[in-house]
Structure 1
Amino acid sequence: MANGKTILVTGACGWLGSAIVQALLDRGDSVIALDVMVSPAMATLAAREPRLVTAAVDLGEWHQVLRAFETYRPDAVIHAAAIVGVIQAADIPLKALRVNVEGAVNLFEAMRMTGLKRVIHVSTEETYGDFQAPVIDEDHPQQPTSVYGLTKLAAEHYGRVYSRDHGLECINVRTCWVYGPHLPRLRMPRTFVEAALRGEPYHQEDGGAFAVDQVYIADTAAGVLLALDKAQHRFDAYNIATGVAPTLRDTAEAVNRAIPGAKITVGDSGPYRHGGKVLSAVKGALDIGRAKAELGYQPRFDIQAGIEATIAETRKAMSKPSS
């Protein structure tokens, strides 16, 4: 898909959604930014960027969704709206169902009714459940162990039905643990970085050997745009990550290397639990060979480079005077 198109982004005011919006604008596209509420940051950006239009739309409200498609007539959709994360979805499972599944169906149905074909769905490695090997590809069984993974897999399958029956192109980009500056969830590596920048030692009791592919936010956004741009897809799913799975202890050491005097440590008192309470699925690395071959995807940030970029931006944010 050539640049200069009009792309509708759902969840546009979220952490990843806003990065995708900015990446689209940077390359010359026009963007329709949809979210249940328009954030002050997105409203400020829209005020100075004529190619950006914002709209408050609840994906659970069918008439709002259809009206948005009839009004703006985009060329394609990037679907980033979701109740994100294992803990959050587990805490509010009915809302996760409504947003992640019903919202996706409303989106697909509005596309069908307005003749729009292509949607890039931001999915997750949580759809795989427990990794059965240290590195897995897109053909790995999808057996989610979390509410979040279950809802995202349901959205993937609905997309396949709409693609088969109505000619949509529902392409799934499966990310892994996305990180970077201003990560909205209080988990590593944010907790590691912020403690180190405050000059405080930080020890996480468990999960030191837990290995998981961690992908920097800019690489994630780049992979989404590559999937959007590909003229014809032979596959409906791509792993967008790094292909490497550092342990949590490796991540802590990356912070220690980047910040002189930092004392970030991770113990092995037990398996990794999200938020210290929800047992994680077995993880590992995502094989990104398909994305490399089909999309030309190449991650720019390994864990050390990504941590250093995160530190640089976090340091700037922490040095700003509070309003």
Structure 2
Amino acid sequence: MPKKILVTGASGWLGSKIVETLLTRGDAVVATDINVSPAIAALATREQRLTAVAADLGEWHQVMRLFEAHRPDAVIHAAAIVGVVQAADIPIKTQRVNVEGSINLFEAMRLNGVKRVVHISTEETYGDFLSPVIDEEHPQKPLSTYGLTKLAAEHFGRVYSRDHGLECINVRTCWVYGPHLPRLRMPRTFVEAALRGEPFHQPDGGNLAVDQVYIDDTVAGALLALDKPKHTYDAYNIATGVAPTLRDTAEAVNRAIPGAKITVGDSGPYHHGGKVLSAVKGALDISRARTELGYEPRYDLQRGIEATIAATRERMNSAPS
């Protein structure tokens, strides 16, 4: 039965994809962000089931008005300062958005009788992976500002679940990629250089193994968590279950684009943005999501890279010269 879903961070890359997918399957959506993007605003003029509302989750009265005016049935919480580098650059704002914004959201849910929220979390809450494949019971010892704030949001959700009967479900994804990734990191940098016919060499991190999940699979996992009638667990790894290296990623691009020359060196560990040391990574065990949610990733690395290339090529070809 279609429901009305509030999506926070709805103008962001992942949030907008969640909005589109919910509409496609027949739900009504209240899309909120601190600024409504032109794309979401335009979609709202064409789609009667979409309402776009500008609201700052850090401002309590705005969050309350959002719930009082629109009465959602459930929430997908994708609003955040995202990424290790960005969070490190603006730690105070990251705490305000990722932690205080989440608390305001949970409190407004409590006061308005909304029970379920799916919080888009991250593998950064785990810190260094202690084995090549980790499950949801792995210790959570984040090493980054981003991971620390997302873990705080998870824990506040647990408090609200225990004390107020909310259902705060955490979807821990990994390195999400796909068409139009807004951050200038791999595999976007690899793909765009290859399509321009330019060689690209990343000097470090070639042996870093990390689970990379295509955006459509991330959205599918979040919606499965949203729809499950009753949850035994409050956290699910949503990824692929395998961890290609950065060199594997470069080779996937080289296979997909004839003549591409994308290389990655071994000189030391990987640094996010060339400056923030990465935690030790690996693969996320997705057994729980498979068993409990029926989740199954549709995109392995090669298929995801090829889909990303196709969309990027189309965008580059249509751009004004």
Match of 2:317 in 1: 319
Partner of 1:174: 172
Structure 2 residue 7 is matched with structure 1 residue 9: yes
- Structure 1 residues 31-89: Cα deviation after superposition (integer angstroms, max 9, x where no partner): 00000000001111111011100000000000000000000000000000000000000
Instruction: State the one-letter code of the partner of 1:90.
Output: A
Residue type at the aligned position of 1:188? M
Structure 2 stretches lacking a partner, 5+ long: none
Where do 4+ consecutive residues of structure 1 move more than 4 Å?
none
In 1, Cα distance between the equivalents of 2:268 and 2:184? 20
AA of the residue aligned to 2:177: Y
Deviations 1:175-201 (A, max 9, x none): 000000000000000000000000000
Amino acid of the structure 1 residue aligned with 2:312:
T
Q: SS state of the match for residue 280, structure 2?
A: coil
CA distance in 2 between counterparts of 1:15 and 1:283 reads: 23
Match of 2:183 in 1: 185
Equivalent in 63, 73, 76 of residue 71 of structure 2? 73
- Cα distance in 2, alignment partners of residues 208 and 150 from structure 1: 26
- Please give the secondary structure, in 2, of the residue aligned with 1:235: coil
Q: CA–CA distance in 1 between the matches of 2:69 and 2:319?
A: 41
The aligned counterpart of 1:92 is 90
How far apart in 1 are the matches of 2:319 and 2:137? 49
For residues 226 and 113 of structure 1, what CA distance do their matches in structure 2 show? 26
**Alpha-carbon distance, 1:23 to partner:** 0.6
Separation of aligned partners in 2, 1:268 and 1:246: 15
Secondary structure (helix, strand or coil) at the match of 1:193 reads helix
Q: Indicate the SS of the match to 1:253.
A: helix
Match of 2:239 in 1: 241
What CA distance in whole angstroms lies between the structure 1 residues aligned with 2:154 and 2:117?
11
- Specify the alignment match of 1:40 in structure 2: 38
Aligned residue number for residue 162 of structure 2: 164
Residue number in structure 2 paired with 1:221? 219
In structure 2, what is the equivalent of residue 290 of structure 1? 288
TM-score normalised by the chain length of structure 1: 0.99
- Cα drift, residue 270 of structure 1: 1.0
RMSD: 0.6
String of CA shifts for 1:93-133, please: whole Å, max 9, x gaps: 00000000000000000000001100000000000000000
Distance 2:127 2:64 in 1: 33
CA distance in 2, matches of 1:11, 1:322: 29
> 1:207, 1:90 → 2: CA distance?
20
How many pairs are equivalent? 321
**AA at the equivalent of 2:134:** I
- The residue that corresponds to 1:125 in the other structure is 123
**For residues 208-237 of structure 1, what are the alpha-carbon distances to aligned partners after superposition, in whole Å with 9 as ceiling and x for unaligned?**
000000000000000000000000000000
Alignment partner of 2:117: what SS?
strand
Please state how far the C-alpha of 1:321 moved relative to its aligned partner.
3.2
Deviation at 1:322, TM superposition (A): 2.3
Write the letter of the residue equivalent to 1:217.
I
Unaligned runs of 5+ in 1: none
| SS in structure 2 of the partner of residue 9 of structure 1 | strand
Query: Who is 2:150 aligned against?
Result: 152
1:168 positional shift: 0.1
Partners in 2 of 1:101 and 1:309 — Cα distance?
Answer: 34
* d(CA) in 2 for partners of 1:299, 1:22: 19
2:319 and 2:226 map into 1 onto residues whose CA distance is: 39
Counterpart residue identity of residue 108, structure 1 = F
* Alignment counterpart, residue 137 of structure 1, candidates 135, 142, 151: 135
Task: Using the TM superposition, give the Cα deviation of residue 240 of structure 1 relative to its aligned residue in structure 2, in angstroms.
Answer: 0.2
Distance in 1 of aligned mates of 2:319 and 2:299 = 30
3-state SS, counterpart of residue 279 of structure 2: coil
